Amino acid sequence: MLKKIAIELGHVQKTLLLPLWGRAVETQRPEPLLIDKTALEIINQIDYDFSTLTVKLSEISQKGWIARSLSIDQVTNCFLKKYPRATVVNLGCGLDTTFDRIDNGSVYWYDVDLPDVIELRRKFIRENDRRKFIVGSIFEDEWFQNLHIEDNILFIAAGVLYYFKSEDVQGVFKKIADHFPESEMIFDASSPLGIKMANKMVIKNSGWGEQSFLNWGLSDAQNLQLWDNRIEVLEEYPMFKNMKKEFKNKFWAFISDVFKMQYIVHLKFKNI
């Protein structure tokens, strides 16, 4: 029998287990919207009682992780069609496996996260010539010099930015705009109401403390353009726009999209 791998993570890093579990569960459905074999392999290897995390989770939480992955996959694939040898930087990567789903054979991919997460990541996922791990903080820019760049750059931040304060997120955007003009970014956001509901429905129901609470709520993506005139919002995607038929209870998916409780933002850092 394969020996299970024990994990030791901080309060915020623990939340990386939830979307991993969500993708693994979806993969096992008869007609999955998303197939993530790597997520399923990791879940089967981790020595962790996932029932303590998932017993009280709502349907919309699990579907939200799938919808986010589908949107990010779509935007990334479109980006790589325009820039086949692009560099993609996955900020706060956790145990994300987007690379395994979208690799075009020429993209340069960097997964960035804190030391304990990268250490865990190395137990399940291997680096190669085009896929590298970077130990670092998304609030630092020293590691920028380690990026191999031949074409344009896409930054991904999935399930990351709303854990921090608004001024911290602004700092991340400014550093990217300073160093990589014309680069693009895709991330998921939540309105202030969405933040409140997520802390109640997901974090508390998972038995974690306030250290894992979400912080930054974004009521309208257009407000990001007030932060810096180099930020251009290319598009917003309602999280469940094309998924409502997948819900047993469609009401909450409808409410989420109307009040922007969860949505996807695609932006560009203009060269001015």
Amino acid 9: pLDDT: 57
At 77, the amino acid letter reads N
Using CA atoms, how far apart are residues 110 and 91, in angstroms rounded to an integer?
8
CB count, 10 Å around CB of 15?
Answer: 22
Pairing label, strands 184-189, 131-135: unpaired
Range 168-178 average pLDDT: 98
- Give Cα separations from 10 to 16, 28, 116, 158 (angstroms): 10, 29, 8, 18
Q: Is the pLDDT of residue 231 over 70?
A: yes
What is the distance of C-alpha 52 from the center of its chain?
Answer: 22
Average pLDDT for the chain:
88
- Give Cα separations from 122 to 101, 145, 155, 191, 243 (angstroms): 18, 22, 21, 34, 33
CB count, 10 Å around CB of 108?
Answer: 19
List of domains in the chain: 13-269 (3.40.50.150)
- Strands of 263-269's sheet, edge to edge? 131-135, 108-113, 87-91, 153-157, 184-189, 263-269, 231-238
Cα radius of gyration rounded to whole Å, the chain: 18
Give the residue with greater pLDDT, 246 vs 182: 182
pLDDT tens sequence across 71-116:
999 999 999 999 999 999 999 999 999 999 999 999 999 999 999 8
Q: How confident is the model at residue 24 (pLDDT cuts 50, 70, 90)?
A: very high
Amino acid 197: pLDDT: 81
pLDDT tens sequence across 106-125:
999 999 999 988 988 999 99
Amino acid 46: pLDDT: 86
Give the DSSP H or E segment for 65: helix 59-82
